[in-house]
A and B are shown apart, each in its own frame.
Chain A
Amino acid sequence: MRTRTARLVAVTAVTALALTACSVGGGGEEPGDGDTGAADDTGAATGGSETAGGGGGGGSTGPIDIWYSNNPEEIEWAEQVIEAWNGDNPDQEVSAQELPAGDSSEEVIRAAITAGNAPCLVYNTAPAAVPSFQEQQGLVALSEFEDGASFVEERVGDLAAQYASTDGDFYQIPWKANPVMLLYNKALFEQAGLDPEDPPLGTYDEFLETSRTLVENSDAEAAIYPSPSAEFFQPWFDYYPWFAAESGGDQLVVDGEPQVATEASVAVGEVWRTIYDEGLAPREAAQGDSFADGISAMNSAGPWAVAVYADLDWGVVPPPTSSGTDESWTFSDAKSVGLYTACENRQTAWDFAKFSMSEDNDRLLLETTGQLPLRTGVTEIYADWFEENPDYQPFADQLERIVEVPVVPSSIEVWQTFRDAWSSSVIFGEEDVQPAFEQANTAIGDLIAEG
C-alpha cells in the first residue's frame, strides 16, 4: 500500500511539473520571470517588447477592439462613432463591447492587463488609476506617436500638465469632464424659507447656516448626503471639490509635496466635521438616490445630473470657500482614454482615438450624453448647443477652473490613506482633524517618495 502511495505521489508530482511548465510558458506572471531580468522577457511577447516608451513610429494598422462604458448614452455615442469609422476604414475595423462587469472598471482593466487581453482602447480610464496601469506596463506612452504629446496639449491647453506622468510622458488622452458642483433642490429651499434663486451658499458660514435651516424647516432629513463609505474614490465627491475651491486650484500633491495638512485642506476638514457633528449629513450610507428622493437638499454632481434629475427643480452653485469667491475651482471628475500595450495595431488605435475626439464627435458626445468634452474652448465651439441647453452652461463655465487628481505613484494608496484619515477624524470624529491630516500628509509623502 505504501509503495502504491509513493507511486501515486510521483505521478501527481510529474503532472504538477507538467502543469507548471505549461503555465510558465504562458506569460510573464510566474516566479522567475519578473525578477530575473530582461533576458527571459525580451523575446517573450511582441506586445511586451514594444511596451511603454519603447517602439517608436506608432505601430501597425488593422482591426482593433475597444471597451466603453455601459451607460446607455455612451453606448449610443460609441455606436455612432464606430459606425462612421468603420464605414470609412473597412480594413481597420473597430470592434467594441461594454466594459466587462466588475466591482470597478479599474479592477477589470487591471485584470485584463495582467492577463494580456486588454483591448486597444478603454474609454473611461480613470486618471487616478493611470500610474498603476503604467507601472504594470499596460499603457502605451503617447510619445510613441509623432503627434502624441502635441495632440493632448492642443486639446486641453494648460491642463495638459495635470495629465502628464512623473516621467513627463502622457499615458492617457484626456477625453471628457464632469466638473463637480453643488446642486440644490429649489422646492426644499423654498420650503425652508431660503431664496431658491440666490441661495446663501458662497462661504462655509453661509453653507452651515443654510444647512441648519434646511434640516430644521424643510422635509429634507439631511442638508447634503455624500457617501460616508471608505472607498478610496469617495473624497472626490466631498473633500476634493471643496479643497480645490479653498486652495484656489491646487492638486492634492503639488511638486511632489502632499497638501493634506495645509491650511486650506484642514479648513475643509473642519467644516465637514461640523456638518457631520451637527447631523447635517448622515454617517450611514443612503439607500437609493437621496437627492432624487428628497431626503437631502443638496448633492455634489456633474453635468450628468441634468438628465438624471430632470424631474426635479434644481439650481447649481460652485463649491463654497471659507471667505467666498466669484471664481471657485472644483474637481474635474474627468475620464481619459487609455491605449493599452496588448494592442497590436496601435496606429489604428491612435488614429481612432483622435477621430473619436474630433470636434464633431465631441459635439456628438455632448448631445448624446450631456458630458463635457475635455477640450479648450468648449463654450465657444458649441455655443449654439449651450444656448439650447442652458442647464449645462454653469458646468461648462466651470471647465475653466478644474483640478485633476495628481498623477503620482501609488495614487490609489494615496487616496485610501487620505480617506482613512477623513473617516476617522471628519465623519466619525474619533480624532481631531489637524493631527489626523498631518499624519496622513506624512504617510502620503512617504508613499510618493517610495515611488
Chain B
Amino acid sequence: MTTADAATGGTDTRRPWWRRVFGKHPIGYLFAGPYVLFWLALFAWPLYLAVYMSFRDWFFAAPGAVVDRPFVGLANYTDVLSDPAVHRAALNVAIFILINVPLTVIVSLVLAAALNQVLPLRGFFRTAYYVPYVTASVAMIAVWLFLFSNGGMVNQVLGPLAPDPSWLVNRYWAMPMIALFATWKQLGFYVLLYLAAMQGISETLYEAAEVDGAGPLRKFWSVTVPGVRSATALVVVLATIVGANFFTEPYLLTGGGGPNGASVSPVLLMYRAGIEQGDAGWAAALGVMLAVVVMALSAVNRFFLEDRE
C-alpha cells in the first residue's frame, strides 16, 4: 500500500455514510436511479419470474385464488425439447438469422455509405428508408400480402415463373419471405446506426487513402468497413436478438406460422401455450431457453466483432 492509499483509507472512515456508499458524486445515482428501477421492475423481475414458472406446472390465476402449481423439476424443459413444433421453430430461427443478419449488415452498410455521400435528394432517401421502420407492422404486412399473395402484383409480373404454391403458402418460401420482410422493415434503423458511425471516421483517412491511389471501392473496404466495426457488432447483435424473437410476421403474414407450421417461431409457440392455452410453465421454459441461446449468440458475435484495443 502506498502512502497515498493509506491516506485515502484514513479519510474514508471519517466521511459520512452516504458519502462512503455513493462516492463523491451521489447525484449520478439519482440520475441512474429511475432506469435501475425500470430495469429491475420490467426486466430483472419478469426474468426471475419466468425462470421460477418454468419449473412449475404454472398457469395464471385470479389474485387470491387458491391454486396448485406443483414443482415439476425439468419436466417443462424436457417437454419443450421433445416437441416437434419447437424443433421446427428452432430451424426457422436459424433460417431467419442466416438470411436476415448478413443481408441486414451488407445492405444497410452499402445504403448508409451511399447516403453519406453528397447526393441529390439525400434527405428524401434517408426518410424513405426509415419509413417502413416507423410504420406499424400490421400496415406493412398488408402491403406484402398485396404484393406476394397468389394473385398479387409480384406473381402477375412473374407469370409462369411464380412459385406454386405461392410465396406465403409455400413451405420452402415462407421462411425466406419472412426474413426478407423483417430485413426490409428494420433496414432504416440499421442504416441510421451506420450513418452515425460514419460521422466518426476521420476525413484524413480517406484523404490518405486517396494519396495512396485508392479508388471508391478500396476506400469503402479499407476505411469505411473497419471504421464502423463497432456499429457492425451492434447491428449483428441487435439483428440476432430481433431475429430470435420474431412473432408478428408468422402471426399475420403466414396465417399463424403456416403453411402447416413451416414458419412457426418460438415466440409464436410461447404465445399459443402461455397466453391462449394457459400453459405458462411450458411457455416460460421455452422463453428461458430462447433467452439463453440469444445471450450466447450475442456473446459470440461480440467476441468476434467488437474492437478489442
Chain B, residues 152-180, CB within 8 Å of chain A (1/0): the string is 00000000000001101101000000000
Given A19-B41, A287-B145, A423-B258, do A47 and B64 touch, yes or no (CB 8 Å)? yes
Given A31-B52, A47-B63, A283-B165, do A232 and B258 touch, yes or no (CB 8 Å)? no
- A132 contacts B by Cβ under 8 Å: yes
B49 surroundings in chain A (CB, below 8 A): 30-31
Chain B, residues 248-266, CB within 8 Å of chain A (1/0): the string is 0000000111111100000
- B59 contacts A by Cβ under 8 Å: yes
**Pairwise interchain contact B65-A35, C-beta atoms closer than 8 A:** no
Stretch from A134-142, A164-172, A181-189, A360-368 contacting the other chain: A134-142
Chain A, residues 387-430, CB within 8 Å of chain B (1/0): the string is 00000000000000000000000101100100010011001101
**Pairwise interchain contact A35-B278, C-beta atoms closer than 8 A:** no
- Partner of A228 from the list B23, B255, B278 (CB cut-off 8 Å) is B255
A51 surroundings in chain B (CB, below 8 A): 62, 64-65
- B126 contacts A by Cβ under 8 Å: no
CB-CB nearest in chain A for B51: A31
- Partner of A231 from the list B56, B256, B259 (CB cut-off 8 Å) is B256
B64 surroundings in chain A (CB, below 8 A): 27-28, 41, 44-49, 51, 116
- Partner of A114 from the list B23, B36, B62, B69 (CB cut-off 8 Å) is B62
The interface residues of chain B, by DSSP majority, are classed as: loop
- B146 contacts A by Cβ under 8 Å: yes
- B16 contacts A by Cβ under 8 Å: no
**Pairwise interchain contact B261-A229, C-beta atoms closer than 8 A:** no
- A230 contacts B by Cβ under 8 Å: yes
Docked complex Cα distance between A285 and B257 (Å): 12
Say how far A282's CB is from chain B's closest CB, in angstroms. 7
**Pairwise interchain contact B260-A229, C-beta atoms closer than 8 A:** no
- B202 contacts A by Cβ under 8 Å: no
Chain A CB within 10 Å — which of B44, B49, B275 has the most? B275
Say how far B47's CB is from chain A's closest CB, in angstroms. 12
**Pairwise interchain contact B258-A420, C-beta atoms closer than 8 A:** no
- B15 contacts A by Cβ under 8 Å: no
Docked complex Cα distance between A35 and B171 (Å): 43
A49 surroundings in chain B (CB, below 8 A): 64
A34 surroundings in chain B (CB, below 8 A): 56, 58, 61, 67-69
Say how far B169's CB is from chain A's closest CB, in angstroms. 5
**Pairwise interchain contact A416-B278, C-beta atoms closer than 8 A:** no
Interface residues on A, range: 35 or more
**Pairwise interchain contact A29-B60, C-beta atoms closer than 8 A:** yes
**Pairwise interchain contact B279-A48, C-beta atoms closer than 8 A:** no
**Pairwise interchain contact A28-B275, C-beta atoms closer than 8 A:** no
A29 surroundings in chain B (CB, below 8 A): 60-61, 63
- A220 contacts B by Cβ under 8 Å: no
**Pairwise interchain contact B63-A48, C-beta atoms closer than 8 A:** yes
Docked complex Cα distance between A55 and B70 (Å): 26
Docked complex Cα distance between A313 and B165 (Å): 33
- B277 contacts A by Cβ under 8 Å: yes
A104 surroundings in chain B (CB, below 8 A): 276
- A354 contacts B by Cβ under 8 Å: no
- A278 contacts B by Cβ under 8 Å: no
CB within 8 Å of A: which of B108-156?
A: 145-146, 149-151
Docked complex Cα distance between A58 and B264 (Å): 46
A16 surroundings in chain B (CB, below 8 A): 40, 44-45
Docked complex Cα distance between A416 and B70 (Å): 25
- B20 contacts A by Cβ under 8 Å: yes
- A212 contacts B by Cβ under 8 Å: no
- B229 contacts A by Cβ under 8 Å: no
**Pairwise interchain contact B275-A424, C-beta atoms closer than 8 A:** no
**Pairwise interchain contact A132-B278, C-beta atoms closer than 8 A:** yes
Chain B, residues 1-38, CB within 8 Å of chain A (1/0): the string is 00000000000000000001111000001000000110
Stretch from A105-113, A322-330, A370-378 contacting the other chain: A105-113
- B71 contacts A by Cβ under 8 Å: yes
- B66 contacts A by Cβ under 8 Å: yes
- B272 contacts A by Cβ under 8 Å: yes
- A210 contacts B by Cβ under 8 Å: no
Given A34-B68, A35-B56, A412-B277, do A15 and B36 touch, yes or no (CB 8 Å)? yes
CB-CB nearest in chain B for A112: B62
CB within 8 Å of B: which of A1-42?
A: 4, 7-8, 11-12, 15-16, 19-20, 23, 26-31, 34-35, 37-38, 41-42
Sampled A-B contacts (15; CB under 8 Å): A4-B23, A8-B29, A15-B36, A19-B41, A27-B63, A28-B65, A30-B49, A34-B69, A45-B63, A104-B276, A116-B63, A118-B62, A231-B256, A342-B62, A424-B260
Top 8 A-B pairs, shortest CB-CB distance: A48-B64, A45-B64, A229-B255, A230-B256, A27-B63, A137-B65, A116-B63, A34-B69
Residues of B within 8 A of A (CB): 20-23, 29, 36-37, 40-41, 44-45, 49, 52, 56, 58-71, 145-146, 149-151, 165-166, 168-169, 171, 255-261, 272, 275-279
> What 12 new A-B contacts, CB under 8 Å, besides A284-B168, A285-B145?
A12-B36, A31-B49, A41-B64, A41-B65, A42-B66, A113-B62, A135-B67, A137-B65, A137-B67, A230-B256, A284-B166, A412-B278
